[in-house]
Structure 1
Amino acid sequence: MDLFEPESFERFVLTLAGVSLVEQWGAKVAKVGGKVFALVSLTPPDLHHLVFKTGETSFEVLTALEGIKQAPYFAKRQWVCTAPDAPLSPDEIEAYLRRSYRLIASNLTKKLQRELGLLEP
């Protein structure tokens, strides 16, 4: 599955509990509890680039790689923009998207996490 392709990105993120998709900012944007955790760009110059949240250590490692930079328009560090030719395998991309989802979901209120089916009632 090529997660840099909007259709594949959409199919993958919708397998995660409580995820909604919207089109905004010239991208397909994946949210959990109304909070962005990933997006795939639909417009140049970053057509089919993935943006997702990382931890501090992953941010440092990833942005040292060719084809990965700090995501533009995301004011805080730990958001990366990954080009389709970045040296990451499909499994690694999937793992980073899952981790981004978990990072964002963990900051939601416990009540909202339960409503979204992320916690036991």
Structure 2
Amino acid sequence: MNIETLRDYCLSKPSATESMPFGDETLVFKVGGKIFALTSLDAEPLTVNLKCDPELAVDLREQFDAVRPGYHMNKKHWNTVIIDSSIRESDLKKWIDHSYDLIVKSLPKAARQELGK
């Protein structure tokens, strides 16, 4: 997956938005005003930070060398995924979906209703 594919997939999520609140190098994806993914545009290789259930986060780190505790994030709830050939695109999409769903579930009821969730 490259940056364009990552961006397109994140923005395909209902009501997802993108912004650059941390500067020109960091692309942030939000739903309901809360971050569900962020990526550094100048990182080599490409990485993405994703919210994750704490138990699953540990499991993924143990299973995949390319999954690490969230860089500059709460390491209990966030993973940094190095997007390389060791990560299948289908797995990455599943992890993006999981991150998005966790954020949507954390939104107030009125915000979830606006999203149709």
Per the normalisation by structure 2, the TM-score is 0.86
Equivalent in the alignment of 2:51:
53
Equivalent in the alignment of 1:6:
3
Which structure 2 segments of 5+ residues have no match? Answer: none
Pair 1:102-2:84 in alignment: no
Letter in 2 for 1:6: I
The SS at the match of 2:106 is: coil
Contact 1:52–1:100 (8 Å) recurs in 2: yes
Question: 1:21-60 counterparts in 2 under 5 A?
Answer: 21-25=18-22, 26-44=25-43, 47-60=45-58
The two structures, once aligned, show a CA RMSD in angstroms of 1.7
Letter in 2 for 1:73: H
Distance 1:30 1:17 in 2: 12
Equivalent in the alignment of 2:72:
73
Contact 2:18–2:28 (8 Å) recurs in 1: yes
Which structure 1 segments of 5+ residues have no match? Answer: none
Q: Sequence identity of aligned pairs in percent?
A: 22
The offset of 1:98, in angstroms, is 0.4
Distance 1:11 1:84 in 2: 15
Q: More helix per residue: 1 or 2?
A: 2
The offset of 1:75, in angstroms, is 2.7
Distance 1:68 1:86 in 2: 13
The offset of 1:86, in angstroms, is 6.4
Contact 1:18–1:33 (8 Å) recurs in 2: yes
Q: How many residues align?
A: 114
The runs of at least 4 aligned residues of structure 1 exceeding 4 Å deviation read: none
The SS at the match of 2:18 is: strand
Distance 1:11 1:27 in 2: 16
